Chain A
Amino acid sequence: MTSEKIFTRNFHLKDPHTLGVYRQTGGYTAVTKAFAMEPSAITEEVKKSNLRGLGGAGFPTGTKWSFIPKGSAAPKYLVINADEGEPGTFKDRYLLERDPHAVIEGMLIAARAIDSHRGFIYIRGEYVQPWRVFSAAVREAYGAGLLGKNVLGSGFDFDIVVHRGAGAYICGEETGLLSSLEGKKGWPKIKPPFPAIKGAFGQPTIVNNVETMAAIPHIINRGAAWFAGLGTKSQGGTRLFSVSGHVVKPGVVEAPVSITLRSLIYDECGGIPNGRRLKAVVPGGSSAAVLTADQIDVSMDVESLAKAGTMAGSAGVIVMDDTVSIPDALMVVARFYAHESCGQCTPCRESTGWIYKMSHRIVSGKGRKEDLDTILDVAKRGAGTTICAFYDGAVGPYISYIEKFRDEFEALIPRDGHA
């Protein structure tokens, strides 16, 4: 498919992470334009573009910005979530390493819109290389007068603090991230108050994803209508799909959000290798419910995937061929959620551990007849009862793997497994 490339337009160039290359390709023209606009007009433009957050939750970005209290004298913070951790997702790493200045320019524009003078970017601790590249880009931007006092002579001040995480999936959850940024363990906080009212260090805060930021300069430069027109009625733009697992060409694919899962797998990524057949595919990171091979004609936008009983999430697409044991895959996924539960809420802390143990014993041939129904029961009861969305994310795979491939699980459970 030959569609317009926005996020990846410079990926093929030499040194796309440098200020020089970014500027040669039109970089930092949007910020000049944005600084000549009223802050509220920037937010309006982003609203009209139908940009939805590209980290996982898919919330309309402009609407989120508009939640910052108007006329408040309190300091406001812009926090960029670069704690990429959703299994099957790797697109933010590409942006940090290959287009960091787009993220910085997006931050400048967002900061102007919400009247923030200090931004933080929270980069996962394992991303040492992306952290180095991004930090170098921030230094370049300071050197060129694009950050700091009086940005480009506009009278607007903006600083960026590059912050490293230390290994915890839960810090990708926005309030867990804020706890961590404040020097605490990454425990999520009860909402409300939402971060826009009371966020980082108790002040109004917007938390946005890396890719979401990278979209902003293009929306300002080329207009909301153009961006909205690239997508569906309710979600504008292209986005980056991270495709991995059993495909001929795994990698980052930029495509309109309306692309079908089938086209993504077969047209963009070369289909299933070694003459095998597709068995199952996770469309939006491991927290998204799995789809079977006959469900892949779905469009990849937020609404269409929700209608299909799953979610667009982080657009991490994990493809499984017909050699894969689904119970084995669930055991791996359940191990992840058990390891990463932060331990704050009882339903999540206890259920993730027990479900991992049950899935492990099923795969080990020691499952009990009642295990499958117990997992489903525990999963369904716990959903929606916790402070953050982590457990709801775990429930997606628990239920869908078992309900869609129940025969495979039952075949592993010994007939004399006691009931």
Chain B
Amino acid sequence: MADDPTRPPFDPERIAEVRRLQSLYPDKRGALLPVLHLAQDTFGYISLEVEEYVAGLFDLTPAHVHEVVTFYTLFFREPRGTHVVSVCHNLSCHLMGAKAIIDHLTQRLGIEVGETTADRRVTLLAVECLCACEQAPMMQVDDHYEGNLTREKVDRILAELR
């Protein structure tokens, strides 16, 4: 499987990065979250196969890695869309109209919250406070925040997601 970039193992460059990350902590296990981030960036999501592979890099049981992966919201255990749109639905965003933004997104994308569009372009999530309440209602699009959302602004953002 070494030729398939969507499946383990890491290439030598990434293995070196794993070892560097592990060396930063008094116990190499401290690097588990950073390495899982690296794995997700590399393979797209954290499959059971990836969990087992990462466990081997840490001398941990696959069960320990599974427990960690399932505890945190940012690790995906299934393939995501090319883009992940996470709308905050906590209090400040709720007060400023998050529900209307979520309704608009479900309509525009034709999916429910938690789903991915049929063309695999967008995964839509509703999430807890992203701590950008001054821009409410707001959402995270991949690695950046978009705030002061209106339906029109949401449409512009969606149009730019290829």
Chain A residues with CB under 8 Å of chain B are 75, 84-90, 92-93, 118, 124-129, 161, 163-169, 180-186, 200-201, 203, 242-246, 250-252, 282, 286, 316, 318, 320, 324, 328-329, 332-333, 335-336, 339-340, 342
Contact = CB atoms under 8 A, between A and B. Distances in A.
Nearest to A337: B128
Contacts of A90: 131-134
A183 B134 contact: no
A129 B143 contact: yes
Given A85-B131, A90-B132, A183 B91 contact: no
A250 B29 CA distance: 41
Nearest to A169: B128
Contact of B133 (A182, A200, A318): A318
Interface string B108-146: 000000000000000000001111111110001001110
A250 B134 contact: yes
Given A163-B33, A167-B73, A245 B92 contact: yes
Contact of A332 (B30, B89, B143): B89
Contacts of A244: 92, 133-134, 136
Contact of A87 (B33, B37, B58, B133): B133
Contacts of B68: 183-185
Given A87-B91, A164-B33, A332-B91, A250 B131 contact: no
A332 B33 contact: no
A178 B68 CA distance: 14
Contacts, number: 150
A126 B140 contact: yes
B72 A125 contact: yes
B91 A167 contact: no
Instruction: Find the residue from B31, B32, B140 having the highest chain A CB count within 10 A.
Output: B32
B30 A183 contact: yes
Contacts of A85: 128-129, 131
B91 A201 contact: no
Given A183-B68, A185-B68, A166 B133 contact: no
A8 B32 CA distance: 35
Nearest to A166: B72
Nearest to B145: A129
A145 to B, nearest CB: 20
B95 A324 contact: yes
A87 B144 contact: no
A182 B90 CA distance: 29
Interface string B18-60: 0000001111011111101100000000000000000000101
Nearest to B140: A126
Nearest to B37: A164
A125 B74 contact: yes
A252 B92 CA distance: 14
18 contacts: A84-B131, A87-B92, A87-B133, A90-B134, A125-B72, A126-B74, A163-B33, A163-B34, A164-B34, A168-B72, A180-B33, A183-B25, A183-B32, A245-B96, A329-B91, A329-B94, A336-B128, A336-B129
